[in-house]
Chain A
Amino acid sequence: MSNIPGDLHYTRSHEWVRRLPSGQVEVGITDHAQEALGDLVFVEVPQVKRRVTAGEACAVVESVKAASDVYSPVTGQVAASNDELARRPELLNSDPYRAGWLMRVEPDASSAAAALLTAVEYGQFLEQAG
């Protein structure tokens, strides 16, 4: 069974979103996603200050078997990205919700988060997807 922390929000494309006290949001891929991809060997994170739009492919994670795009869950500007992943992509496998974070985004004031799923909804979504 895949780990789905209750305090985060999720997308149907298997990103997680953490709201930070600063107002920024931290983004990564879910435990389900890393499990499905297998051993991660390459991660490309977006450059700081890049503008991202909700739904836009903004990072790439590659396992031995496949490359997968990561989509920004929000619209805004990239405030930080996790450079440690260039050296240690396996952090995405071992600690997807903490050390494996991909980027932090300063969301636009107008950026709507309505499309995000709660942990319960994401769990139901995974069950339906089988």
Chain B
Amino acid sequence: MGLRTPLYDTQLSQGAKIIDFGGWDMPLSFGSQIDEHHAVRRDAGIFDVSHMCIADLKGARTREFLRFLLANDVAKLTVPGRALYSCMLLPSGGVIDDLIVYFMTESWFRLVVNAGTRRKDLAWIGEHAAPFGVEVLERTDLAMLAVQGPNAIAKTLPLMAPARRGAAQGLARFSGAEFESWFVARTGYTGEDGFEIMLPAAQAAAIWQALVAHGVTPAGLGARDTLRLEAGMNLYGNDMDESRHPLESGLAWTVAFEPATREFIGRSALTRARGTVHPALVGLLLEERGVLRKSQQVSAATDAGAVAPHASIPLGEVTSGTFSPTLNRAIALARLAPGAGPRVLVDIRGRPHAARVVKPPFVRNGKILVPI
């Protein structure tokens, strides 16, 4: 038996197919993961993401500490409730984890990090927080739900107590507000609008049931993965890890090199990497039938799409691949040598399959963004 979230029994009673995910017993789906995917793109779905690690950082020097710890710059967070996506790096530039940081008050920032990296993240953060006098409090008392989809907000607001509703309905994208022990943020991992709600664990089942009764579709980790990949969002352990720096993982936009005076862990390694030629993360769209999968090998194709087998030039490999329910074909993120494309070949079970190099995201807000 693995770790269980406060919603485990509720989800089991709703037909969840449970799998192990980083030591947690989590729902893969409640029936058809493709139906769940479409529900989120077209209407509203709800995910239990209570396995993720919420850590509150408190102390007068918290902002100063985070400006040192993270590759993105929390100086950008000027309005309470605002969120920022960032990598946390090793001195080598390798990615320890990706995370969201919320600015609560000047002496309180909240981090949400991945479940599978919880232990090493907390150890790393704790070690570096001590000299700044910053306290790290893991919030295992909280559950976390993600309600996502074009109708997610409209279906969630009426179920909130009036005071919370008032705080939640005016939220700008990528901001949150805390009211009566609920922190509601307009963030997510699907490429759709919606809320992520952090709330006392004991209250999670009731709101889950109410949302489902209100027509929000329960969705599992299977749909979460196809949604995030269509949205061009990286998965830690697949598309980034400690052996790669953010510039090789499509995350250059999350590194704040300016101001040049800010010292952060990994800065000097990234500054060196910036001047070199390195692989890049790109999107792939399979032009034939089949499914793209992690670790499939990618090689160069001629303009005609065909290449003599012996002339195949390796370019890199797929880091995340799946069948995209929205595009009805296979998509992937792949780390390829610079200048790859516009067409490449992917080795699927020993046979080359033609694929097109595209710029992610594939889908955002229900719209297909790549030419198909």
* Interface residue ranges, A against B (CB under 8 Å): 38-39, 41-42, 60, 62, 64-65, 67, 86, 93
If the complex has contacts A64-B34, A64-B226, are A41 and B29 also in contact, measured as CB distance less than 8 A? no
B344 CB–A CB distance under 8 Å: no
The answer on a CB contact under 8 Å between A38 and B323 is no
* CA–CA, A86 and B34, complex, Å: 18
Chain A's interface: helix, strand, loop or mixed, by majority? Answer: mixed
Chain A positions within 8 Å of B289 at CB level: 42, 86
Q: Shortest CB–CB separation between residue B320 and chain A, in angstroms?
A: 12
Chain B's interface: helix, strand, loop or mixed, by majority? Answer: mixed
The answer on a CB contact under 8 Å between A64 and B322 is yes
The answer on a CB contact under 8 Å between A38 and B291 is no
B59 CB–A CB distance under 8 Å: no
Chain A positions within 8 Å of B226 at CB level: 64
The answer on a CB contact under 8 Å between B291 and A39 is no
Q: Shortest CB–CB separation between residue A67 and chain B, in angstroms?
A: 7
Chain B positions within 8 Å of A93 at CB level: 32
Q: Which A residue's beta carbon lies closest to that of B19?
A: A65
Interface centre among A60, A65, A67 (most CB of B within 10 A): A65
CB<8 Å pairs between A and B, sample of 22: A38-B28, A38-B29, A38-B32, A38-B33, A38-B222, A39-B32, A39-B34, A41-B34, A42-B289, A42-B290, A60-B349, A62-B291, A62-B323, A64-B222, A64-B226, A64-B325, A65-B222, A67-B291, A67-B293, A67-B349, A86-B289, A93-B32
Chain B positions within 8 Å of A39 at CB level: 32-34
Interface centre among A41, A64, A86, A93 (most CB of B within 10 A): A64
Contact with A along B313-328 (1 / 0, CB 8 A): 0000000001101000
* CA–CA, A41 and B291, complex, Å: 8
Chain B positions within 8 Å of A64 at CB level: 33-34, 222, 226, 291, 322-323, 325
* CA–CA, A41 and B322, complex, Å: 10
* CA–CA, A62 and B293, complex, Å: 11
A38-B17, A39-B34, A41-B323 given. 8 additional CB < 8 A pairs?
A39-B32, A42-B291, A60-B349, A62-B290, A64-B323, A67-B291, A67-B293, A93-B32
Question: Which of A41, A60, A65 interacts with B28 by CB under 8 Å?
Answer: A65
Q: Shortest CB–CB separation between residue A68 and chain B, in angstroms?
A: 11
Q: Shortest CB–CB separation between residue A90 and chain B, in angstroms?
A: 8
Q: Shortest CB–CB separation between residue B363 and chain A, in angstroms?
A: 15
* Nearest 7 CB-CB pairings of A with B: A41-B323, A39-B34, A62-B291, A42-B291, A64-B323, A39-B32, A39-B33
